[in-house]
Amino acid sequence: MKVYIKAVIADAIKTCRSAGTLTSAELPAIVVGRPTHPEHGDFSCNVAMQMAKGERKAPRAVAEILVERLRELAGIFDRVEIAGPGFINFFVTDAAWRLTLSDIDAAGADYGSSRSGAGKKVQVEFVSANPTGPLHVGHGRGAALGDTISRLLAATGWDVTREFYYNDAGAQISNLALSVQARCLGLEPDDPRWPADGYQGEYIRDLAAAYLAGESVASDGRQVTASGDPNDLEAIRRFAVAYLRREQDQDLLAFGVHFDVYYLESSLYEEGRVAEVIRRLVDSGHAYEQDGALWLRTTAFGDDKDRVMRKSDGSYTYFVPDIAYHLAKWERGFTRVINEQGADHHSTVTRVRAGLQALDQGIPQGWPEYVLHQMVTVMRGGEEVKISKRAGSYVTLRDLIDEVGRDATRYFFVMRKPDSQLVFDIDLAKEQTLENPVYYVQYAHARICSIFENAAQQGIVPPEAKEAALARLETPEEMALIKELAIFPEVVEGSALSFEPHRLTYYLQELAGQFHSFYNKNRVITDDSELTGARLFLLKCVAITLKNALAILGVSAPEKM
C-alpha cells in the first residue's frame, strides 16, 4: 500500500510540473507514514513541506496543488485531505483494503517476502563462542538474534551465509586443556595444584572421563580420538576443543540454528594470515615500536588511543586475529558483513575497523556492520537464577531449552531490542495462558485451525476470494484485522533494515490481539453462507500471516494446543 501511494504522489508531482503548477526540478524523497490518530487517515505524507522552499510557496499551498491532482486520480482513496502546516492525509477505501486478502492468499508462504536484497551476498556471523564450555544464555540470545536477522535478510531477497567463528586459540584454550588435564590427574578445583584460571564446571569432569576412555568425536569432517594419555597436553587440547564443539553444535541443533561455515581462529595462524596482516600494517606506516611492543596507530581512524598489537613477550593482542579474520571475509567476496555479538565486544568495533582501514584494501568505512546485544537475566519464582548444575557458574542455553522449550526460548530472546537488557522469566515462559506472549500468538493460530476443522466437519469449504463476498467484511473488527494484515510486508522490511527482530514480536502480539478481538465479537460460522465464506477467507489470511511471521522467528505455528 505504501509503495502504491508513493508512486501516486510521484506521478502527481510530475504531472503538476508538466502543467507548470509546480516548478522545482528535484524530486524529494517521498516518505509515507501512518498517522498516530486514525481520524487523520490511513497514511500521511509531508512531501509538500519538503518542496515548499524550492517552490517558494507555503507548504499548504504546495499541498493544495498536489491534492487537487491526487483527487482527480481514480484509485484506492476514499478522500485526500490537507492537515496542519501541510501534511497530506490519505483515507483508503475499505474495498481497496479488502483486496489485500487476495494478495495474501496468492502469495501464501511467500507473503511478507520481497526481493529488495536483489540476491546480493551478505554474511552474518553470530554466536562465535569459545569452545571452552556449554553455551550460556548470552550465547542463546545471540543465536536467536543472529538466526532471525539471517531469516529476515533471506526473506527480503539477500543471499545469506551464516558463519560461526571458533576462537580455538589463545589463553582460554590453554586454560581449558590444563583444566581437563587436572581432572585426568584426579585433581579437584579446591586442590592448590588446580590451574589458576581453570574451568571448574562438571562438564570438565565429563570431558576428562571421555578423554581417558579413548572416545572419538567428529570435528570438521574427521574423527578426533582421545589418546587417553593425561600427560599429552596437546592431545588433550585437540580432543577438548572437538568435544566441546560437538556439544555446542548439538545445543544449536536443538535450538533450530544452523551455520553454513565454521571458521577456526587457529587456521589464521596455520595459514600465516595473522603474520601477513602484521606485515601489511607495518608496511602501511600505521604501526610503530614503543616500549618493546608493536602498536597500531588506531587514533588515525577514530580511536581514542593507539592500541598494542604485539606485546613485549611476542604474543598478539586479541584484536589482531580479528583483523586477519575480517580481511579473509572481504577476500571471500563479502562486501556486506553483519556481526552479532555481545555488548562486551563494543571496544572491538573501533579497533577492527581501524585495522581494516589501515590495510588500505578498499574496504569501506563502517565495514563490517555490528549488532551488539545486552546481557540476559534469568528469573524463576521472582529470583535471579545464576548457575547451572552442569556449567557451575552460569545458566546454559540447554537448561532453558529443556525447561521451557525451543519456541518459547527463541521468542523470548528476541522480544526486546538487542541493545536492551533482557529479563527471561522462566515461570512466564512455561505458562499455558494468554499472559505468555508466545502462547498468546500460537494460540491464535491454533484457534483458527480449530475453526477450519469445525467448518470442515459441517461440510463448509472456504471459498476462493471474490470481491462481492469480501464486501461482506465490514465490521470494525474485520477492517482492523485486514489493515493489520496489510502492513506485514513493511514490518518484515523494516525489521531487516534495522536488524530489529523484536518488531516482529510486537507485530505478532498486535495481530493476535486483533484476531482475538474479532473472534470474541463476531461469529465465523453463521447461517449466512456468503458471510461465513468471507470470514473463513479472512481467517485463512490471518493464519498465513501468523505462520509466516513465526517462521521468520524460527518458532512453530501449532494447529492444536
Contacts of 177 (CB under 8 A, 6+ apart): 233, 234, 236, 237, 240
pLDDT along the chain (561 residues), means of 10: 90 93 87 90 95 94 95 83 95 94 96 97 97 96 98 98 94 95 96 95 96 92 94 97 96 97 96 96 95 96 94 92 98 97 92 95 96 97 90 92 97 98 98 97 98 94 73 95 97 98 98 97 94 95 98 98 93
> Long-range contacts for 32-35 (Cβ within 8 Å, ≥24 apart)?
32/2, 32/5, 32/6, 35/89
CA–CA separation, 504 and 549 (whole Å): 7
Cβ 327 vs Cβ 276: under 8 Å: no
Q: What is the pLDDT of residue 469?
A: 85
Residue 509, Cβ density class (10 Å: 0-12 exposed, 13-18 middle, ≥19 buried): middle
Torsion of CA 94, 95, 96, 98, to 10 degrees: 90
Whether the link from the prior residue into 476 is cis, omega within 30° of 0, is no
Distance CA 289, CA 287 (A): 7
The pLDDT of residue 74 is 61
Closest of 126, 131, 141, 127 to residue 395, by C-alpha: 141
Q: Structure pTM?
A: 0.94
pLDDT value of residue 168: 92
CB-based contact 544:482 (threshold 8 Å): no
Q: Which domains does the chain have, with CATH numbers?
A: 2-92 (3.30.1360.70), 121-169+263-361 (3.40.50.620), 433-552 (1.10.730.10)
